[in-house]
Amino acid sequence: MNILVVGAAGMLGRKLVAALIQRAALRGRRIETLTLADIVEPQRPDFGGRVETVAVDLAAPETAARLVASRPDVIFHLAAVVSGEAEADFDKGYQVNLDGTRSLFEAVRRAGAAAPYCPRVVFTSSIVVFGEPLPEVIADSHCLTPLTSYGTQKAIGELLLADYSRRDFLDGVGIRLPTISIRPGKPNKAASGFFSSILREPLIGREAVLPVAETVRHWFASPRAAVDFMLHAAELDSAPLGSQRTITMPGLSATVADQIEALRRVAGEGAARLIRREPNPVIAGIIAGWPRSFDARRAEAFGFRAEKSFDDIIRVHIEDELSGVEPA
């Protein structure tokens, strides 16, 4: 089993690589070769098999052809210029997120024209392909109306994945990831950052700012669940996907109040008191257009599973990021 991970240096990429190494097998076969690519060279993991780490610009000519030259059996495509940057730098967003994705699919198709080749390609999309006007609960049959260039590029990636799969150039499975909470690391300036920081920071005794009302509802999964989605997407039988190659992943529809209640239950009133209310109308305005809840029955029928409560999500964070030691 030869695996290529494009976008291996990011938070989810690193966790995916660690999970692959820990499992040692995928699709019932022993993992022998890992190629880890990203715009910066990914860290070299501790792995008994062959591993190659490469710094590449996916949008540059020939990059994709070099990445698939070894004909990987499974390709995880996670690489993307993130939402804020794709909005600020229109050209760069389209070059990486659209042209880069298309180059990768094209490289697979061209490899297949030389000799039979049809790898499983797992493409990570996002719930930001959906935007207002939205029903309260969003099904896979709902139209995509992205409100950002990043969301537009992900939606186009989904369409390309479906067409390349239909033509048997590759065997694509797209997964729309929920907002990831609790993201490890430092607070960042993403509008969605507070959904993680109001839990992550108090868990280590630090203050966090809540810029929106506690009634705000959104759709969440833990980093561990996201990695499980990717692994499952690599292994599932893709035939029943039909023309809908991308699936909205299951998640937890929760309000900020639900998050805080869970924090209180797991870490106590002291932790909850570290959340400082500081209303920010700009952030509240951005969040207002975001999806609140999904009908993920299709994903569940395909065997995808997510956390059922924020208590679970917090416990995952404690186990995976705080060495399992619950703070006092």
* Secondary structure (3-state) at 154: helix
Going by C-beta distance under 8 Å and a sequence separation of 6 or more, which residues neighbour residue 69? Answer: 111
88 binds its own copies (CB under 8 A): no
Query: Among this protein's residues, is 150 annotated catalytic?
Result: yes
Handedness of CA 209, 212, 216, 222 (dihedral sign): negative
Question: Which of 41, 52, 89, 140 is in the footprint of its own copies by CB under 8 A?
Answer: 140
Q: Specify the amino acid at residue 81.
A: V
96: phi then psi, degrees, rounded to nearest 5: -85, -50
Does residue 163 interact with its own copies by CB under 8 A?
Answer: yes
DSSP secondary structure code for residue 29 in this structure: E
Part of the chain binding its own copies (CB under 8 A), chosen from 116-124, 141-149, 228-236, 314-322: 141-149
Neighbouring C-beta atoms of residue 295, cutoff 10 Å? 16
The distance of closest approach from Cβ of residue 146 to its own copies in the complex, given in angstroms and rounded to an integer, is 7
- Selected from 61, 133, 240, 281, the binder of its own copies by CB under 8 A is 133
Residue among 2 and 126 whose Cβ is closer to its own copies: 126
Q: Shortest CA distance to 69 belongs to which of 90, 44, 52, 46?
A: 52
d(CA 324, CA 315): 8
Would you say how long the chain is, in residues? Answer: 328
Which of 165, 167, 305 has its CA nearest to residue 241? 165
159 is an interface residue for its own copies by CB under 8 A = yes
> Binding string, 12-51, against its own copies, x = CB under 8 A?
----------------------------------------
Which range binds its own copies by CB under 8 A, 149-157, 175-183, 219-227, 313-321? 149-157
Q: Which of residues 226-285 bind its own copies (CB under 8 A)?
A: 242-244
136 part of the interface to its own copies, by CB under 8 A: no
| Residues lying near its own copies in the complex (CB under 8 A) | 90, 131-133, 135, 140-147, 149, 152, 155-156, 159-160, 162-163, 166-167, 242-244
